[in-house]
Amino acid sequence: MNSPGYARKEESLPPHPLYSEKELDYSDYKQYQPEIDGCPKKVEMTTLVAENIVVQQEEYTQCNEQERCDHVKPPQSILLKGLFSCIKAPMKTTTKTGFNIGSLFVKGTAFLAPMAGFANLPFRRLCRELGCDFVTTEMVSAEGLVRCGAGSEKLLADHPLDRPRAVQLFGADPGSMARAALLIQERDLADVLDINMGCPVRKVVSSGAGSALLKVPQKAIRIVEAVKKAVDLPITVKLRAGWDQSNICAVELGLRLEQAGADALFLHPRTKAQGFSGRADWSLVADLVDAVSIPVIGGGDVRSPGQALSHMLETGCAGVQVGRAALGNPGIFSKWPKVSVNQSGTWIPSPDERLSAFERHLQLYIEYAGEKKAALELRKHVPHYFRGIPGASRYKAAAQQAGSCDELLDLARKLLVPGT
């Protein structure tokens, strides 16, 4: 297993699965001559971003000193871990080629996590409008769907602009999971079926579903086999690192799930025991990428687009799934191809960006559920949109008492853009 920080041997790093090497210039350092007179005086290090890939290249300018000086010359090579083992200056940008989940071609690398209570149709559409490439529904009970439960039906709400998407199922019985998957396929409600084996919530785990399946790998494998046999849709599995630190199983189980028919794996590298506390160990994502031949999408502790891109470069994962960082900040997806890898802290949207997203979220919610229900249900999103704004506490309290969408919007405008 890799050490924290996912340090890996350079010679073992495979090309990143999303990108082509054909446009890279491998000219030798000795052939590299900056088009300037005198010595190559380094002036700054610039981070370039093109097609979601970050490369670093030093800029040089003319030196006015005499022939002898001590300015640093261009580096012989620049290492991009997880992308190519060695790229020699100068560099050109790489070309994004995409990747497949089974028969489905996925164009991008930005994924929205299936957050229960939040990732409903309006929020998924909002994130997609702002640049998210692939979404997953809130988890749906296989038993509830087979029994025609109204709650399960609501979670399956669909829209032409909510594609491509995965429907996530949870359950402990292979037969019920297969029947639910078939119902979804027959009604054309999904492009991908995702099986939840990572939810740490007590109610789910006590039923034998979610992360409880990490303790019974044979049942987990039977579920994937049953679903794969029942439908033609691509099958993915959402995993956690393991039950606890003494029982890390993501890599071993991931290999067996691939053999059972999984077309891709989503890994949140925390244990069930951690819940959402502690640190997500991205070295496990790197280990899983090395172990399997199907795409791996990582998630956990991703708070900025730059951080997501850094994880992809370091681990070789095919994409990154964003969850809590998108709450109140769906614009995180709009910045995905435009940031440097060094922007590793939390991405903080401007007040104008927050207000614009909130207004659009409100519009989509009204379209989905009507004004009365939109005003009621959008209250839980308000603390996230107002997070970190000075004086927000009294506005948050007032928002919980708001009886209409107009009241909510008025509060948001007063806080985020005073004077409007």
Active-site entry in 39, 199, 317, 405: 199
Burial class (CB in 10 A: 0-12, 13-18, 19+), 156: middle
Q: Which amino acid is at 271?
A: T
Residues 328 and 383 sit within 8 Å (Cβ to Cβ): yes
Residue 352 region, left (φ>0) first, then alpha (ψ -120 to 50), else beta? alpha
- Residue 162 has φ and ψ, to the nearest 5°, of -100, 35
Strand partners, 74: none
HEC secondary structure over the chain: CCCCCCCCCHHHCCCCCCEECCCCCCCCHHHCCCCCCCCEEEEEEEEEEECCEEEEEEEEEECCCCCCCCCCCCCCCEEECCCEEEECCCCCCCEECCEEECCEEECCCEEECCCCCCCCHHHHHHHHHCCCCEEECCCEEHHHHHCCCHHHHHHCCCCCCCCCEEEEEECCCHHHHHHHHHHHHHCCCCCEEEEEECCCCHHHHHCCCHHHHHHCHHHHHHHHHHHHHHCCCCEEEEEEEECCCCCECHHHHHHHHHHHCCCEEEEEEEECCCCCCCCCCCHHHHHHHHHCCCCEEEECCCCCHHHHHHHHHHHCCCEEEECHHHCCCHHHHCCHHHCCCCCCCCCCCCHHHHHHHHHHHHHHHHHHHCHHHHHHHHHHHHHHHCCCCCCHHHHHHHHCCCCCHHHHHHHHHHHHCCCC
- Quick check: is 405 catalytic? no
Residues labelled as active-site residues: 199
